[in-house]
Structure 1
Amino acid sequence: MSNGETLQHRVLEVDGVQVHHFPSAAPVCSAALLFGVGQRDESLATLGTLHMLEHLVMHEVRHTPISINGSVGPSLTDFTAEGSPGLVRTFLEGVCRGLAAPPLSRLAAEAAVLSAEGPDESGTPLGPARYGLRDLGLVGAPGPGPAGVRAETVRAVAERWFVTGNALLMVDGPWPEGLSLPLPVGPAPTHAYVVPRRWERPHAITVDGPGCGFSVILPPAEGTGLELLTAAVIEHRLTEVVRHERGLTYSLDRELLAVADGRWELTVLAEPLPDRAVEAVLAMIDTTTGLLRDGATEAEVEHARETVLESARGRDSEIASAMDVAIGALLGSDVAAFDAAAVGAVSADRLNDQLRGLAADVLYLIDARAADEVARRGIPTTEIPPGSSASLPAGEVFRPPLPARVADKDARTARVALTETGLAQRLGDQTWTLDWTEVAGVLRDDDGDLTVLASSGVAIAVGPKLYRRGKKLIQAVRRNVGPDLIWDER
């Protein structure tokens, strides 16, 4: 605490839910009811179910004068309130009742509300490149949309995830006397997190538009705050160069998320103006390449250290740090309590060793217009996921129609094989395969053509306009994929 006062923190249990209370003399009570489930715990076919459930519950408790909110993130679903203790208690109890018995009669009306809200645009191809269409690769993925959310799925999700053992409550300020949390009793379910795909050299993924960002996988946290220092150094260098020196973007968004093997994924995204996107991509690549190759300066390391230490000062930061540990335990992540002495002891050499170890596994998100310049820097573009050099497996082979092969050089080498177990596609010198058992979803466009999506991230488009005798491919997909996994492309 900035005034030398020790943060009060008591841990208790209410109706089987672990509660962290941070008492204070403030008249306002702030509360956050957290559940260890997020977008990464859904499937492509059920994506949006958590968001629907959150909306259904919030509709039931909306008549209150206090500030309330609900949200679904990559790893957590939360319900928050701030106001007088009695009204906060009423809100929390109402949320728990709504989760225990979701008001499914409102499903169609809430689907219209969610459609008006628009699709989730927070994801990028960096997610599928690391995880496929599962885990963090589901953030912003093309799910069936609000109209495709089914009542039985909402009920099943509520029963599985919104139980006492998967809940955590934070209360800051006066205690809401008489609080009860009437959730169904049950243990926290197991998460099916995916170990991220690693790369042996930097690669770039192209998007049609002003995309500019990158992803690296940091080593497991070791209790020294090294992952925080690494993120701070990278963010500072990029901010100084890409924003302040070059004026190429207003903001840089940084996210640090725990992944399956105890590591952390650091993602940094910029939002450049469309007419300066190529310049921003090259500046980001050149800046990160230099930093990861040569390391940070002593001044940069000291700035990162001060930034991390300052961010941990004050009551709100201390509460956030304590909750990070509790949330980590809830999600099965090893999050150590913040240790200022350990952060201060990290040397520039240790930090720079970590930076240099990240260089091979950088994955860039780039505007497609920058692909040639990026290639000249020795960074190849890649598909998601990368294909193999293997030949098409045995099966019935389909080719594009002659007009397409005449007009499009890519179509001249395109082949799709219908095999005994799935589909395979060859484009140029690369081959992709998928098994019917790993189909995560099928998108149907306005012409009736289908794009078959595998959990690995492989996508194979089929249909009469794409391949001769393409109706046979359509029939094969419909024969081997259940109707619940096929929806209209939005």
Structure 2
Amino acid sequence: MTMRQLEVDGVPALLVPHDGPMIAGLTFRVGQVDETLSYRGITHLLEHLVLHDRGLTDYHYNGSTGAIATSFTMQGGEDDIVAFLGGVCAALLDPPLDRLETERSILRAEANGRGAGVNERLPLWRYGARGYGLVSYDELGLPRIAPDDLRRWAETWFTRQNAVLWVAGGRLPEGLRLPLRDGARRPVPAPSSALPATPAYFLGDGDAVVFDGIMGRSVTGGVLAGVLERELFRSLRQEDGNSYTASASYDPRGDGLATVTAFADAAPGKAGAVLGGFVDVLAKLKVGRIEQADLDAVRAKAEDSLDGSAVAVGMLPGHALNLLTGQPILPVEELRSELRAVTVADVHSAFLEVYGTGLLQVPDGHGADWAGYVAAPTTSERAVDGRRYENLVVGAEGVSLRHGDHSATVLFQECAICLAYPDGGRQLIGNDSITVRVEPTVQHVPPDVIRQIDEAVAPVTVWLPARDPSKIPQPGQSSPSTGAPAGQAQPRIGTGRLVGAVIVLMLSVIACGCSGLWTWAVADNSDPELDVPLDAGTGLLMGVLWAATVGLVVLGIWLLRGRSRK
């Protein structure tokens, strides 16, 4: 089917012939990555307000707020679509702000029922607490969003130049009008980075293993994801039986680059085995061990997905997003041609690009240094100078929490959000996602210092309701830990590490006993029948026993100490 490019009231329009009920959508180039953490949730809140007055209908309509785009869609008759899209535009011109508190409450309820994605944590570790990293965070800014904020957001982002209309039907709906403000096309933001080196790893709080990497956008990327999924499934589920779900995906980022993500869960007690098998699969692809049969199977499946009359309709939202972000719109036959041209060498080259930018989430209690991955930063490079309260330092530039030679620092100018409680508790999250908690009840921070912090971070402060008294740290409890981004696991010893430490220390006790008995036998000459002569062989055995004892003790202590985590 041939797609036509048209225009309605200055808004670019894409039309694909379709014999079934008409489907239409209005997509804007604005999403979660365009927000700031202190206003996180503003796009979603505006979307809900716009759709409220659409009321009940016999046809399906919906709104969605994604990472880089927001869409309003409907399937139904021409008159219904004209009324729906016209109403959406009218609500964007004059948002129904009388519903603000109700919709704010609905979003909180929606968040409580929302499940976590498989790669929920990777964006904040890769990008920090801004831009593409914001998709990892809850809608923390909801409490502070005011009517004027929503009006400005609509005026800035929801304009005719920043929109694309797409329609699947015999024609554009007769009488359709899109009365939007004039504005400007908005490019996706430049990516930030919280990783000084890659491939890197960080500690997750469960048993799953997740990996992602960045590559140039291409048809080869989708093929690579399919090949990687087949390798993981074959190795971790079919052969080892340690994982139930092993998958991979390819997702364009809107700036000419794309993210390849791989995931594997783990059967109980098999997290270490899954991590090892997962890393082995990545290493296999890194050296170019890619099966032609896998490439052929993935390519055949992709080509099959391009067959059928519904393909062009299903690709319409993606074409609209490509138009908004300045990416090429490839017709089906060109996609098919590019698919057929992908070789094993192309897949290997693409994987090397992905692996070089890789980020690996390892199960609780494990690491990946042994596989050549560097630990992602969990502390700050510097600490501020200022007045000290327990382990907290408050200075003119920011705040630091000190733990021995390490510190976590949030500079006031680099603070993405300050979550403030009426009891004086504060949680500051920096642009790099490092978090510093201020708890006056345990750090003995005086009120004037809390005011100093509040004045410095007032533009990004979100006031939260009073905490349950049981949630407020009390004197005698340990000072707040630090370094963990909001919602991340605090430093702790994993269960697997603890069990391993106990076993190793028990073995060290046994080894110490054997070493002691052997030494006594060599040194004691009171009973000639039990006398063990001291020669070269005896001395070597004695040295090996004592060396093994010391090694086991050191290993046990290392396991108990755990590792510093973000």
> Greater shift after overlay, 88-97 or 38-47?
88-97
Query: Structure 1, residues 136-191: CA drift from partner, whole Å, max 9, x if none?
Result: 21114144354443221111111111111111111112332211112223222344
Matches within 5 A, 1:129-144: 129-144=125-140
Is the deviation greater in 156-165 or in 415-424?
415-424
What's the counterpart of residue 411 of structure 2? 435
2:296 counterpart of 1:302: yes
Gapped regions of structure 2 (runs ≥ 5):
468-566
1:28 aligned residue: 21
| Residues 398 and 468, structure 1, Cα contact 8 Å, conserved in 2 | no
- The corresponding residue for 1:127 is 123
Scaled by the length of structure 2, the TM-score of the pair is 0.73
Measured in 2, the distance between the counterparts of 1:484 and 1:195 equals: 19
Give, in angstroms, the shift of residue 427 of structure 1. Answer: 3.8
Specify whether residues 254 and 104 from structure 1 end up closer, same or farther in structure 2 by C-alpha distance, changes over 3 A only. same
- Contact kept? 2:16, 2:312, Cα under 8 Å: no
Q: Cα–Cα, structure 1 residues 274 and 92, in superposed 2: closer, same or farther, change >3 Å?
A: farther
1:199-348 paired onto structure 2 within 5 Å: 200-218=197-215, 220-221=216-217, 225-245=219-239, 246=241, 248-250=243-245, 252=247, 254-258=249-253, 260=255, 262-272=256-266, 276-321=270-315, 324-333=318-327, 338-348=334-344
Matched, 1:181 2:171: no
**Unaligned ranges ≥5, structure 1:** 1-6, 401-414
Give the letter aligned to residue 226 of structure 2.
A
Instruction: Sort the Cα spacing of 1:89 and 1:236 in 2 relative to 1 into closer, same or farther, 3 A.
Output: farther
- Aligned partner of 2:106 in structure 1 is 113
Normalised by the size of structure 1, how large is the TM-score? 0.84
Take 2:389 and 2:158, find their aligned partners in 1: how far apart are those partners? 49
**Are the aligned partners of 1:70 and 1:77 in contact in 2 as well (CA < 8 Å)?**
yes
CA distance in 2, matches of 1:22, 1:336: 14
Q: Which amino acid aligns with 1:449?
A: G
Alpha-carbon contact 1:416-1:425 (below 8 Å) kept: yes
In structure 2, the partner of 1:365 is 361
| Contact kept? 2:242, 2:273, Cα under 8 Å | no
The number of residues matched between the two structures is 459
Which residue of structure 2 aligns with residue 53 of structure 1? 46
Whole-Å separation in 2 of the counterparts to 1:459 and 1:470: 21
Q: Say yes or no: does 1:156 pair with 2:152.
A: yes
**Which is greater in Rg?**
2
Between 1:456-465 and 1:160-169, the stretch displaced more is: 456-465
User: For residues 269 and 96 of structure 1, do their structure 2 counterparts lie closer, same or farther at Cα, with a shift above 3 Å needed?
Assistant: farther
- Structure 1 residues 180 and 259: alpha-carbon distance in aligned structure 2, compared to 1, 3 A threshold: closer
Whether the aligned pair in 1 keeps the contact of 2:124 and 2:133 (CA below 8 Å) is yes
2:429 pairs with 444, 453, 477, which one?
453
The 1-side partners of 2:237 and 2:229 are apart by 11
CA contact (8 A) 2:165 2:320 kept: no
Alignment of 1:470-481 (within 5 A): 474-481=450-457
Matches for 1:188-203 after TM superposition, within 5 Å: 188-196=185-193, 200-203=197-200
Residue identity in the other structure for 2:80:
L
- Structure 2: how far apart are the matches of 1:84 and 1:271? 44
Aligned partners of 1:283 and 1:376: how far apart in 2? 14
In structure 2, relative to structure 1, the CA distance for the partners of 1:264 and 1:68 (3 Å cut) is same
**2:310 aligned counterpart, secondary structure:** helix
Does structure 1 residue 68 correspond to structure 2 residue 68?
no
CA RMSD of aligned residues (A): 2.9
CA drift at 1:37: 0.7
Once the two structures are superposed, residues 228-284 of structure 1 have per-residue CA deviations (whole angstroms, 9 ceiling, x without a partner) of: 222222222223333444252346363513265x32222234455666555444433
What amino acid is aligned across from residue 74 of structure 2 in structure 1? A
User: In 2 relative to 1, CA 242–86 (structure 1 residues): closer, same or farther, beyond 3 Å?
Assistant: farther
Between the aligned partners of 2:262 and 2:422, the Cα distance in structure 1 is 35
Q: Summarize the Cα distance change of 1:83–1:376 in structure 2 as closer, same or farther, 3 Å threshold.
A: same
Aligned-pair CA distance for 1:196: 4.4
Q: 1:351 aligns with which of 347, 357, 377?
A: 347
User: 1 or 2 for the larger relative contact order (CA 8 Å, sep ≥6)?
Assistant: 1
Which of 67, 72, 75 aligns to 1:82? It is: 75
